[in-house]
Amino acid sequence: MGVIRELIGIALVVVAWFDPLHLDLTMRILIFILGFDTMSLIPKIGVFILDYFLGFAWLGWTLLILLATEIISSFLIIGKIVRLIVKPVAVFAVAFLALGLQPALIVAGIDLLLNLGIGK
């Protein structure tokens, strides 16, 4: 299941970056955040570097919040608690900073469901 989750995350990021579906900016950012949070640590670092320096999603430093929670959840003993509580809060914070309250609630809810349903 990890490989499928990884491929879905990368596909969502690519769709958000290149916009083959001609989505509005809000949907592209939501798709990017979900795709970014679905990936594991190594691809996240690569996507963060590309996005920070090339500015595909214009989220820049706010992705550091998601990257930091991934690092914390990967290396700490309380990683499962971080994955279930802190990661959706971090996703909410990033989406709130980029888009506002309603899209942030939607993407944080979807992220919580993903973290509950699909194990890493």
Mean pLDDT across 60-79: 79
1 C-beta neighbours (distance < 10 Å), count: 8
* pTM: predicted TM-score of the whole model, two decimal places: 0.82
The pLDDT, as a whole number, for residue 7 is 93
Q: What is the rounded average pLDDT of the residues 1-30?
A: 89
Let me know: does 39 contact 11? Beta carbons within 8 Å: no
CA 55 to chain centre: 16
pLDDT at 57: 63
- Of 78, 73, 1, 81, give the one whose Cα is nearest residue 37: 73
* Domain map (residue ranges) of the chain: 2-117
pLDDT value, residue 98 = 84
What percent of the chain has pLDDT above 70?
93
- Measured distance CA(70)–CA(119) in Å, rounded: 14
Q: Which residues neighbour 24 within 8 Å (Cβ) at sequence distance 6 or greater?
A: none
